[in-house]
């Protein structure tokens, strides 16, 4: 590689680092002005955001724990997006994945915990995947808009969860909070040794890497992106468009289902209404900010987890309302999305020829 | 184009990982316990916003009262979901704010979240609202407080029984769980003490915060001829405001909602959490053992009723006040046989009285005669 090639790649790298960083800085400035307007010292606010989200080992664990479920639910949006679909119903796949995992977990108790976990993960991914693949099928075979159908299917999934948890699958001992039969203590998925973070984070990272390889470095993944780029061209090239769409939706749904399994096995111990925590919806935000890049999902989810973690600090120390951090998130994401138009605009970042 | 995206992602990731290491290294040096050791720090966690005119507001009122105690600092966090998040919030209050007693106020915070944290932090007390703390099963530094608010719902029923002309009352409830059924039954029994022919139409919305469904339920009840409504949902704001607009009477729940319905507000069943909060905080400050199972009704000052609205007649006031006086003396039983459920089955036999402390009441799974609805 000659020097000009290196210089050009440095320019590109500087661009992809500085543009989002600039957007975040701009967001902080706007947010700081807002804080000053309501009579809070913006620098104190910034210091607390840093402390609460990233300022210590404890804060980092807080942040990473919050990021873990978002990584998996973001994949549920990012993978169908490779095929050009806007699927926003990850919450439904998560909820049903969690419910089916809880059912298996409570009944498969006479075996080693790891067998139970594998069975739970398998069934959760199967159910979540089938749920999302249904959206893909509706889209491909019946022309139903997948954004609407996935959203509506989420309401059905939540209703199903509530119906079964309060009815057929209810543990009679759960009086005031209807839940399924809990997993035995020994079959709960513990934390990563030495850390206060559950295994969902590791599964999420692994899933992101695998999905990235699949989408970016395999023929199958390339075919998928061709479908996303231009369906007609894909058909002309003889690609199995329908199957690719089903696979992308199915694997996305499987990821959300897996997130549900982790919630049940590592956090709740049973399935109940607490599974409906909005992770599926926050995942949409993460995926869009990450521009549907599986690897970029990780830092974005961590940033969001960190902001949520520090939101608590702002509430507790400065008596600010919960909405404060939502405002900051809103401004930050608006800035990041708006900054996309800046790529390729500044001459200094462009490759030089000759 | 897609190649550029891929690069952006990879570099962002590397940047984040690098940043993570640096920040972790310098972080702990900057972070100290925020409050002096001679003061007690109390952490309060809410599931909804503190100004919801309902469940969370009732808790926040007690937190505000605790704040005025000498040597007490209160840290609060609202809108915390019942997931791993609440565990992290509890841990943050302990590690970052130095809290030594935590009030996780939502029912779903108890098992597994508060229990897990109590095992992890044995020196911190966890006073949970509503959980069924069980000796031997749950840690000693965790406990629960709750109030017999069905007493106030009975009094709501008495006021409603006097106010209704159509003899049809409405009850909008979240879920058919024992706590809620007990309120519906107490309300109905209170109204039937005025006129045994009164019926209560129940609508379950399915979840604790469903403003749209609650509004639909209110409209539907009013259209059916119901002229007094009460509720058991997290934030009664929508229902109370809508009742006022539709020109019918309403009995409040959780907190005082009279400001939302100056014409139609009869009275309300309110929590008075100041009593258990004060007891827990005082015990924590003096080092006394934690009372793991704290319960009380009107007599013990755990619940209270809203001041009567102007729509409440003189006769209704006298009647309700007489019942209340008996409750204050501990001489009144709401669930006294014979009581039949709405399918005609006897649920409490003649001669049997279930006192407020009776655990059978915490497992209620029926609706009494005169309630229209199904569990």
The last residue of one of the domains, among B129, B147, B165, is B147
pLDDT band at residue B209, thresholds of 50, 70 and 90? very high
Q: What is d(CA A303, CA A301) in angstroms, rounded to the nearest whole number?
A: 5
Residues B103 and B159 in one domain: no
Sequential DSSP letters for B62-78: HHHHHHTSTTEEEEEE-
Supply the DSSP symbol for A267.
I
Query: What CATH number should be reported for the domain holding residue B355?
Result: 3.40.50.2300
Mean pLDDT across A320-336: 88
**pTM reported for the whole predicted model:** 0.87
| Dihedral angle, C-alpha B179, B185, B189, B192, nearest 10 ° | 150
Q: What is the pLDDT of residues A21-74, one digit of tens each?
A: 888 899 999 999 999 999 999 999 999 999 999 999 999 999 999 999 999 999
Two tokens, residue A83: 């095929």
Is B278 inside any structural domain?
Answer: no
Place of tokens 């390889």: A213
The last residue of one of the domains, among B147, B178, B206, is B147
Q: What is d(CA B92, CA B97) in angstroms, rounded to the nearest whole number?
A: 7
Supply the DSSP symbol for B97.
T
Say whether pLDDT at B367 is over 70: yes
Say whether pLDDT at A262 is over 50: yes
Distance from CA of B90 to the nearest CA of A (A): 10
Residues B357 and B242 in one domain: yes
B residues 42-101 near A, CB within 8 Å? 43, 49, 75-85, 88-89, 91-93, 95-97
Residues of B whose CB is below 8 A from A317: 34, 75, 97
Q: What is the pLDDT of residues B88-138, one digit of tens each?
A: 999 999 999 999 999 999 999 998 999 999 999 999 999 999 988 888 999
Strands B249-254 and B228-232: parallel
Domain ranges of chain A: 1-40+320-354, 68-318
Two tokens, residue A34: 């807002």
**What mean pLDDT, rounded, does chain B reach?**
90
pLDDT at residue B232, rounded to an integer:
98
pLDDT at residue B5, rounded to an integer:
43
Q: Judge: B88–A66 Cβ closer than 8 Å, yes or no.
A: yes
| Dihedral angle, C-alpha B106, B112, B113, B114, nearest 10 ° | 80
Residues B135 and B161 in one domain: no
Integer-rounded Cα radius of gyration of chain B: 24
Residues of A whose CB is below 8 A from B33: none
Residues of A whose CB is below 8 A from B111: 177
Residues B194 and B58 in one domain: no
Residues B105 and B187 in one domain: no
Peptide bond into A246 cis (omega under 30): no
Q: What is d(CA A153, CA A89) in angstroms, rounded to the nearest whole number?
A: 7
Q: Number of structural domains, chain B?
A: 2
The last residue of one of the domains, among B147, B182, B212, is B147
Is B251 inside any structural domain?
Answer: yes
Q: What is d(CA A39, CA A61) in angstroms, rounded to the nearest whole number?
A: 31
Residues B198 and B128 in one domain: no
Strands B339-340 and B346-348: antiparallel
Residues B211 and B113 in one domain: no
Tell whether B362 lies on the interface with A, counting CB pairs under 8 A: yes
Specify whether the CB–CB gap between A89 and A57 falls below 8 A: no
pLDDT at residue A1, rounded to an integer:
53
pLDDT at residue B37, rounded to an integer:
39
Domain extent, residue B174, equals 150-270+303-372
Residues B140 and B159 in one domain: no
Q: What is the pLDDT of residues B303-324, one digit of tens each?
A: 999 999 999 999 999 999 999 9
Is B286 inside any structural domain?
Answer: no
Is B3 inside any structural domain?
Answer: no
Identify which has the larger pLDDT, A240 or A16. A240
């Amino acid at each position: 590689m000659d020097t000009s090639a290196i210089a050009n790649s440095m320019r590109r790298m500087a661009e992809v680092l500085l543009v989002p960083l600039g957007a975040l800085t701009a967001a902080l400035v706007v947010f700081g002005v807002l804080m000053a307007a309501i009579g809070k010292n913006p620098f104190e606010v910034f210091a607390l955001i840093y402390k609460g989200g990233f300022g210590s080992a404890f804060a980092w664990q807080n942040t990473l724990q919050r990021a873990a479920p978002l990584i998996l639910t973001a994949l549920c949006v990012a993978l169908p997006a490779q095929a050009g679909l806007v699927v926003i119903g990850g919450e439904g796949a998560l909820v049903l994945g969690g419910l089916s995992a809880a059912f298996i977990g409570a009944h498969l108790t006479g075996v080693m915990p790891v067998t139970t976990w594998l069975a739970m993960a398998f069934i959760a991914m199967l159910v979540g995947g089938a749920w999302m693949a249904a959206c893909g099928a509706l889209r491909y075979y019946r022309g139903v808009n997948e954004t609407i159908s996935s959203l509506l299917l989420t309401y059905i999934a939540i209703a199903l969860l509530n119906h079964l948890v309060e009815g057929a699958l209810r543990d009679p001992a759960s009086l005031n909070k209807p839940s399924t039969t809990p997993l035995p203590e020994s079959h709960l998925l513990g934390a990563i040794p030495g850390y206060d973070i559950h295994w969902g984070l590791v599964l999420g990272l692994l899933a992101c890497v695998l999905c990235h390889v699949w989408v970016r470095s395999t023929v199958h993944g390339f075919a998928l992106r061709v479908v996303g780029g231009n369906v007609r061209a894909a058909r002309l090239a003889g690609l199995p468009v329908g199957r690719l769409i089903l696979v992308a939706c199915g694997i996305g749904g499987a990821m959300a289902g897996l997130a549900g399994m982790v919630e049940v096995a590592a956090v709740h111990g049973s399935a109940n209404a607490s599974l409906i925590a909005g992770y599926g919806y926050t995942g949409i935000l993460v995926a869009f900010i990450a521009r549907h890049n599986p690897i970029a999902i990780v830092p974005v989810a961590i940033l969001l987890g960190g902001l949520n973690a520090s939101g608590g600090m702002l509430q507790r120390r400065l008596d600010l309302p919960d909405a404060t951090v939502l405002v900051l998130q809103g401004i930050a994401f608006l800035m990041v999305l708006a900054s996309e138009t800046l790529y390729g605009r500044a001459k200094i970042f462009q490759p030089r020829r000759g | 184009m897609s190649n550029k995206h891929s690069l952006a992602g990879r570099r962002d990731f590397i940047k984040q990982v690098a940043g993570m290491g640096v920040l972790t290294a310098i972080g702990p040096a900057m972070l100290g316990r925020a409050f002096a050791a001679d003061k007690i720090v109390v952490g309060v966690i809410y599931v909804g916003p503190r100004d919801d005119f309902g469940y969370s507001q009732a808790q926040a009122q007690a937190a505000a009262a605790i704040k005025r105690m000498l040597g007490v600092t209160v840290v609060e966090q609202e809108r915390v979901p019942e997931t791993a998040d609440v565990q992290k919030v509890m841990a943050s209050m302990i590690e970052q704010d130095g809290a030594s007693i935590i009030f996780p106020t939502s029912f779903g915070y108890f098992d597994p979240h508060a229990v897990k944290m109590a095992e992890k932090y044995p020196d911190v007390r966890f006073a949970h609202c509503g959980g069924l703390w069980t000796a031997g099963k749950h840690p000693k530094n965790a406990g629960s407080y709750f109030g017999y608010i069905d007493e106030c719902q009975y009094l709501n029923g008495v006021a409603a029984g006097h106010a209704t002309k159509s003899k049809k009352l409405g009850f909008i409830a979240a879920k058919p769980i024992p706590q809620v059924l007990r309120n519906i039954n107490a309300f109905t029994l209170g109204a039937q003490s005025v006129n045994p022919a009164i019926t209560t139409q129940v609508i379950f919305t399915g979840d604790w915060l469903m403003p749209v469904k609650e509004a639909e339920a209110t409209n539907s009840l009013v259209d059916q001829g119901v002229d007094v409504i009460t509720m058991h949902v997290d934030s009664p704001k929508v229902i109370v405001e809508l009742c006022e607009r539709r020109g019918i009477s309403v009995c409040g729940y959780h907190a005082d909602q009279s400001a939302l319905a100056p014409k139609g507000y009869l009275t309300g069943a309110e929590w008075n959490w100041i009593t258990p909060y004060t007891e827990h905080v005082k015990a924590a400050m003096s080092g006394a053992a934690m009372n793991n199972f704290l319960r009380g009704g009107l007599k013990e000052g755990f619940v209270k009723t809203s001041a009567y609205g102007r729509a409440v007649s003189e006769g209704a006031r006298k009647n309700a006040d007489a019942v209340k006086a008996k409750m204050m003396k501990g001489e009144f039983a709401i669930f006294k046989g014979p009581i039949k459920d709405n399918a005609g089955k006897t649920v409490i036999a003649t001669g049997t009285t279930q006192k407020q402390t009776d655990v059978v009441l915490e497992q209620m799974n029926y609706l009494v005669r005169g309630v229209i609805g199904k569990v």
